[in-house]
Amino acid sequence: MSVSFLYITGFVVALILALILTPLVKKFAFLVGAIDKPNHRKVHTRIMPRLGGLAIYVAFAAGLLIVLPFFPEGLLNKYDMNLIRAMLVGGTLIVLIGALDDRFELSAKVKLLGQLIAACIVVFGFGVQINLVNIPFGESMQPIADWISIPLTIFWIVGVTNAINLIDGLDGLASGVSGIAIGTILVMAVFMGFEPIILMSALLLGGILGFLVFNFHPAKIFMGDSGSLFLGFSLAMMSMLAFKQVTIVSFVTPLLIIGVPLSDTFFAIVRRLINKKPIFAPDKGHLHHCLRELGFSHRKTVLIIYGIAAFFGACAIIQAVVVRSDAANWVTFVVICVLMFGLQIGAELIGIVDKTRRPVIHFIQRTLMKLDTQSRSK
């Protein structure tokens, strides 16, 4: 049995399991009272079951247990198996925290504590951490000390875990964006030949797509925190591990993989600071809210954000392809400049930070007007 066939089998198994499990989880959510009631901040107008993340997690974990015994001996070494165990143990704790929140609505402090514990288990229990970094225009693969590596890894895991949670505001949005990011990681893992990430990405992608059948607008079930936190944790782990040696091959690459949730989180923090509101205070200024205010339908808003996520993913793949070439530093520099400019223009156009402040657009307009005046005077 070829390895490629095993990867495809894992994807199909996880897809079928998610298709079977999601309706069962929906009934279970109603049974235990894990429901989401409409309010002024939410788009849906009827009571919806949560806990959908359980279907994705069980499809992933069960698929892993089914496929792993068929792998050729020696293909996955001790290091690879350690990464898979770290993903399973940390992911299980994250799903448990999310499921409890879906039912009992835990406080932000309790959820954060649970995420920190999961991150610490990954770092101290399994020794998984960012230990090398590639800084553009510097020497490649610079080792970093533990006193930097450990807090950086924990911060990355907790930060990305919550970033996915913040964009979970429309039917199919968080699951679809996560699926695009996982697909990006899968392509890069195939390119790099990193077997454990190929396997876990294929399984996760199958689980997400199976769940998305029931979660895309009009949704029949929400993934809840059990899903958004688990997918966030999975993306944090695999964007960090998508290359051999547990490295950030280029510090831009993992940021691009999850560009949509990270940029939305960044602008949310800036928006709340400008408006003198608590950083963790919920609001209706996220990317999907802004697009809805511009008149886009629920479905079109989600598809637009899918397109943005796919663009970020394509940039990440290009970055990964050229990272070892002589032009890598310049490609990285150009990618950073173009994306930062594009993000700022986009943010000002849709008003994600402030509806009235558009400093860059106004500067461009004034500059063009001056140039036009000068050309006419001549």
What does the radius of gyration of the chain's CA atoms come to, in whole angstroms? 21
Angle 216-217-218 from CA coordinates, rounded to 5°: 120
Question: 238-277 burial by CB neighbour count: b if 16+ within 10 A, else e?
Answer: bbbbbbeebbbbbebbbbbbbbbbbbbbebbeebbeeeee
3-state class (DSSP) for residue 206: helix
Give phi and psi for 49, each to the nearest 5: -75, 145
Asked whether residue 146 is marked as a ligand-binding residue, the answer is: no
Among candidate residues 113, 105, 66, 60, the one with its CA nearest the CA of residue 87: 60
Asked whether residue 165 is marked as a ligand-binding residue, the answer is: yes
Residues contacting 289, CB < 8 A, separation 6+: 169
Torsion of CA 153, 154, 159, 160, to 10 degrees: 60
Instruction: For residue 234, give both structure tokens.
Output: 């999975």
Which residues fall in the annotated binding site?
165, 225
Which residues fall in the annotated binding site for Mg(2+)?
165, 225
